Amino acid sequence: MTDSQTQSATLYRMILPDHSCPFGVQALALLKEKGYEVDDRILASREETDAFMAEHGLETTPLIVIGDEKIGGYDELRRCLDTRI
């Protein structure tokens, strides 16, 4: 991808003092591998994570957003990127 073709994504993922969500780590790596510029938004407490999930109607994190489209979690990201050219 050239700079003019670089796509961006926003990744909301949980990183607590005693736990990092492995799916968030995998999503970040996959997005970077595919050439995305990632706005990595860290949910740093259980309270922040729970409030975020409630606000967005989620049962788990991460949440990946590409453009204005909520992709979902890591599995949905993989399926989405497999269908993009």
Q: Residue 5: what pLDDT?
A: 65
pTM for the model:
0.88
As a whole number, the mean pLDDT across the chain is 92
Distances from the Cα of 20 to the Cα of 55, 66, 69, angstroms: 21, 22, 25
pLDDT per position as a tens digit, 20-52: 999 999 999 999 999 999 999 999 999 999 999
Q: Identify whether 17 is preceded by a cis peptide bond (ω within 30 of 0).
A: no
Indicate the CATH number for domain 7-83.
Answer: 3.40.30.10
In 3D space, the residue among 16, 9, 22, 18 whose CA is nearest the CA of residue 72 turns out to be: 9
